[in-house]
Structure 1
Amino acid sequence: MIIKPGDFNDAQIRELLRQHLQGMAETSPPGHSFALDLSGLQRPDVTFLSVWDGETLLAIGAIKELAADHGELKSMRTRKDNLRRGAATAMLNALLNLARERGYRRISLETGSGEAFEPALALYRKHGFKSGDAFADYVGSEFNQFLHLDLA
């Protein structure tokens, strides 16, 4: 597996982003999905990465800088035909390493609630994330939850 910056002109990346946004819309009520679209991922405070096996895209993910010491995981998605093969773990490790390099003391994420989100939650918890309070501009509801990992 190779991890590299995501190229937004790549058809595979654009398709996986489309699937990600569609999946979030299908599993969250209107107004409760906070997934970044293409323009949101291209902001200067967001670093977008991709995981590849040769010419095949396996997964995507991003980290958004909230403050000099705090980052947020965004847009973690693995292709359905590549689930449980280590791509999500590789992406998460790459993003956490990037956070450490930047000197972040904390990484947070917002995700949905319900069965569809359980595999992702299991991955985050396996890597030390703990449930916690809303952060940044998020407001907690029955449809979302917040996890945090202290790096320092």
Structure 2
Amino acid sequence: MRISLESPAQPDVIQLIDDLDAYQKPLYPPECHYGIDIAALSAPNVLFAVARDGEGTAVGCGAIVMEPGFGELKRMYVRPENRGQGVAAKVLGFLEGEAKARGCAMFRLETGVSQPEALSFYARAGYARRGPFGTYPDDPLSVFMQKEVAG
């Protein structure tokens, strides 16, 4: 498996984002969806990582939006057939390393109450629950988490 920073505007990566949306949209009402689109993922302040298998197929992705004072994790996804192989942990570690190399020492995220696997994954990765941040409302269907790393 190879993980690298890539453009999200590639057909196989767009399919990953579409698959993520197809999974998440039935879980929450429209006003509780906080995903960002391909244009936003292509912004200069976004680190977008893609995991590819030995054949070059995109099997997972994730992003960190570099905000003043923290990086926000967005659009983490691994294809169902590639889960349980450590792909998500490797993508997360890669993104945190890239952000840390750019001076980021705090990571935040928003996920949903109907995603227990994601909640467990982030807790295992050292993320702790916190209150809303940035422009997020205090949404009862959202879970906000944060992780600080040593500089």
TM-score (normalised: structure 1): 0.92
User: In structure 1, what residue type is equivalent to 2:135?
Assistant: D
For 1:58, the equivalent position in structure 2 comes to 59
SS in 2 for 1:125: helix
For 2:46, the equivalent position in structure 1 comes to 46
The alpha-carbon deviation at position 9 of structure 1 amounts to: 4.3
Query: Across the two proteins, how many residue pairs are aligned to each other?
Result: 149
For 1:130, the equivalent position in structure 2 comes to 128
Give, in whole Å, the separation in 1 of the partners of 2:100 and 2:40: 23
The alpha-carbon deviation at position 99 of structure 1 amounts to: 2.1
Give, in whole Å, the separation in 2 of the partners of 1:119 and 1:132: 18
For 1:34, the equivalent position in structure 2 comes to 34
Matches within 5 A, 1:1-152: 1-54=1-54, 55-67=56-68, 69-114=69-114, 117-152=115-150
User: In structure 2, what residue type is equivalent to 1:47?
Assistant: L
CA contact (8 A) 2:8 2:14 kept: yes
SS in 2 for 1:31: helix
- Percent of paired sites with the same residue: 28
The alpha-carbon deviation at position 22 of structure 1 amounts to: 2.2
Q: Tell me, which stretches of 5 or more residues in structure 1 are unaligned?
A: none
CA contact (8 A) 1:73 1:107 kept: yes
Q: Tell me, which stretches of 5 or more residues in structure 2 are unaligned?
A: none
Give, in whole Å, the separation in 2 of the partners of 1:50 and 1:96: 14
SS in 2 for 1:141: coil
Give, in whole Å, the separation in 2 of the partners of 1:39 and 1:130: 29
1:50-73 Cα offsets, whole Å, 9 max, x none, are: 001122211000000111x31000
The alpha-carbon deviation at position 101 of structure 1 amounts to: 0.8
The alpha-carbon deviation at position 6 of structure 1 amounts to: 2.6
Give, in whole Å, the separation in 2 of the partners of 1:8 and 1:139: 27
